[in-house]
Amino acid sequence: MIYPSLVSLALVSLASSRGVPRPAERHEHAANQRRQDTGCGQTPSFSPGDYKNFTTTTDRQYRVWLPPNYDSSKETPLILSFHGASRDIAYQVDLDELTDTTFNEDYIVVYLQGLAVPAGSSSTKWEGAPGAESDDIQFTNDVLDTVTEEFCVDEKRIFATGKSQGGGFVGRLACDSGLSGRIAAFAPVSGAYYIKEIDVESECHPETVTVPCNASRADIPIMAFHGGADGTINYHGDFRSGACLPDVSNWAKQWAVRDGLSDTPANTTIPGSDNGVTMSYGDGLVTLVYDGDDIGHDWPSTVENADNDGETLAAFNATALIVKFFGEHTLP
């Protein structure tokens, strides 16, 4: 039985660019920075309830989905979603179900496409992962700049979620000095929190390793999910692909301390799960959901999805919990 260490959550009711990373100052977006140009009042080029694919000036791809009730005269919250390694936008859309109005009627959703390494292959990666060559921090900033100019976005309610390597990149966004002040809350799922600075296995100590972080504020809401049977990104950490992966409970505890919270979580058993536990710090500001002993490298769902193939269903839907969590937070 695994008891990792994080905010009490009412799961019962919800169970139904290229180059190396640049110096932080090159990505700085002060938390209170707001451009004068916004998309409010502009008629979108496609209908609410539908999506459109876009390409940046640097030939990066992303997709924007508008909720059915989108009104260009009203500021609308937005979720960024990042797929896993060797996946793409289409896979992530099917997996996270954020365009399903059963879960989301209120948020614009923007799906970003990772770059393939090597070019032309299907091995897509995100900045921070071993072998990644793209500047995805800049890509994310560029997409946010464009989307907030073309759509009526509530810039105090921008959120980020992602799966696996995309989840690890969400953790990286939360630690970026610029984007941590631009994104209100974060929700990585089965995150691959690679620490490339530790590239020798004998120096990788998952339970104690320090995760590099340069967040610009000390009150960052973060909800993470991880399964005990994850054979890809081990819950207890690992040395993988030439980089160190922290024990997920160690990673979460560091977030609690970073946010000025007690490092002792309140634990709540997840009904119907196989030893699943919700660990909460600071009344839920930092939350780690241990999906259960039987859940693998999955996006937890009570129904079949592309990750679980209907074989190992979770006792809750991660998407429902993520949307609820995002709804509770805004930038200061």
Instruction: Report the predicted TM-score, pTM, of the whole model to 2 decimal places.
Output: 0.89
pLDDT at 122: 82
The answer as to whether 26 is a domain residue is no
What is the maximal distance between C-alpha atoms in the chain?
Answer: 57
CA distance 4 to 286: 14
The answer as to whether 146 is a domain residue is yes
The answer as to whether 37 is a domain residue is no
pLDDT block averages, 10 residues each, the chain of length 332: 41 39 41 61 97 96 98 98 97 98 98 90 92 96 98 98 99 98 99 97 98 97 99 98 98 98 98 98 98 98 96 97 99 95
pLDDT at 37: 78
The answer as to whether 33 is a domain residue is no
> Residue 191 maps to which CATH number?
3.40.50.1820
Domain residues for 318?
Answer: 11-15+44-327
CA distance 135 to 252: 25
The answer as to whether 94 is a domain residue is yes
10 CB-near residues (< 8 Å, 6+ apart): none
End-to-end CA distance of the chain: 39
The answer as to whether 6 is a domain residue is no
Domains contained in the chain, number: 1
Q: pLDDT (tens digit, 9 = 90+) per residue, 216-262? A: 999 999 999 999 999 999 999 999 999 999 999 999 999 999 999 99
The answer as to whether 30 is a domain residue is no
pLDDT at 119: 81
pLDDT at 163: 99
pLDDT at 118: 79
Rg (CA), the chain: 18
Beta bridge partner(s), residue 243: 240
pLDDT at 268: 98
The answer as to whether 20 is a domain residue is no
pLDDT at 28: 46
